[in-house]
Amino acid sequence: MSALILHHYPMSPFSEKIRLMLGYSGLSWQSVSVRELPPRPELAEMVGGYRKIPVAQIGADLFCDTRIIATEIARLSGKPELALENNDEAVQAFVRVVDLEVFLACLVSASGSKMLGKLIKSTSLLEAMRFLKDRINMGRNARVKALGPKQAKERVQEHLVSLEQMLKQDFLFGDSPNNADFAAFHSLWFVCDLAEKPVTLAFPKVHQWMDRMRAFGHGNQTPISSDDALDIARENEPRPVSRTAEKLMDQSVSIAPNDYGRTPVTGLLVGGDEQRRVINRDTERCGAVHVHLPRQGFSIREH
- The CATH number of the domain holding residue 94 is 1.20.1050.10
Q: Using one digit for the tens of pLDDT, what is the confidence trace for 220-266?
A: 999 999 999 999 999 999 999 999 999 999 999 999 999 877 889 99
Q: Using one digit for the tens of pLDDT, what is the confidence trace for 22-78?
A: 999 999 999 999 999 899 999 999 999 999 999 999 999 999 999 999 999 999 999
Last residue of a domain, one of 199, 214, 229: 214
Q: Tell me, yes or no, whether 143 and 115 share the same domain.
A: yes
Distance from C-alpha of 297 to C-alpha of 155, rounded to nearest angstrom: 22
Helix (H, G, I), strand (E, B), or coil: what is residue 265? strand
**Mean pLDDT within 144-173:** 93
Q: How many other CB atoms are found less than 10 A from the CB of residue 198?
A: 10
Burial level of 150, CB count in 10 A (0-12/13-18/19+)?
Answer: exposed
Q: For the ranges 1-5, 163-167, 242-246, which has the lowest average pLDDT?
A: 1-5
Q: For the ranges 16-25, 88-97, 145-154, 222-231, which has the lowest average pLDDT?
A: 145-154
**Mean pLDDT within 253-282:** 94
pLDDT class for 143, splitting at 50, 70, 90? low
Q: Using one digit for the tens of pLDDT, what is the confidence trace for 94-124?
A: 999 999 899 989 988 988 888 778 878 888 7
**Which candidate, 16, 5, 2, places its Cα nearest to that of 223?**
5
**Mean pLDDT within 7-15:** 95
Q: Tell me, yes or no, whether 114 and 41 share the same domain.
A: no
Query: What pLDDT is stored for residue 79 in this prediction?
Result: 98
Distance from C-alpha of 246 to C-alpha of 248, rounded to nearest angstrom: 5
**Which candidate, 172, 191, 187, 176, places its Cα nearest to that of 111?**
191
Q: Tell me, yes or no, whether 40 and 114 share the same domain.
A: no
Q: Tell me, yes or no, whether 182 and 95 share the same domain.
A: yes
Q: Tell me, yes or no, whether 114 and 229 share the same domain.
A: no
**Mean pLDDT within 130-141:** 58
- Phi and psi at 271, nearest 5°, equal 165, -165
Last residue of a domain, one of 173, 192, 214: 214
Q: Tell me, yes or no, whether 200 and 92 share the same domain.
A: yes
**Which candidate, 47, 77, 73, places its Cα nearest to that of 60?**
47
DSSP for 45-86 reads HHHTT---S-EEEETTEEEESHHHHHHHHHHHHT-GGGSGGG
Q: Tell me, yes or no, whether 198 and 105 share the same domain.
A: yes
In the sheet that holds 29-33, the strands lie side by side as 221-223, 29-33, 4-8, 55-58, 61-64, 287-294, 276-283, 265-272, 252-257, 298-302
Query: What pLDDT is stored for residue 275 in this prediction?
Result: 96
Query: What pLDDT is stored for residue 107 in this prediction?
Result: 87
Q: Tell me, yes or no, whether 173 and 241 share the same domain.
A: no
Helix (H, G, I), strand (E, B), or coil: what is residue 8? strand
Residue range(s) defining the domain that contains residue 200: 87-214
Q: Tell me, yes or no, whether 198 and 246 share the same domain.
A: no
**CATH (domain of 241):** 3.40.30.110
Q: Tell me, yes or no, whether 103 and 177 share the same domain.
A: yes
Task: Tell me how many domains the chain contains.
Answer: 2
Q: How many other CB atoms are found less than 10 A from the CB of residue 266?
A: 15
Contact, 9 vs 33, CB < 8 A?
A: yes
Q: Tell me, yes or no, whether 74 and 140 share the same domain.
A: no
Q: Tell me, yes or no, whether 96 and 189 share the same domain.
A: yes
Q: How many other CB atoms are found less than 10 A from the CB of residue 138?
A: 18
Query: What pLDDT is stored for residue 146 in this prediction?
Result: 67
Last residue of a domain, one of 195, 214, 233: 214
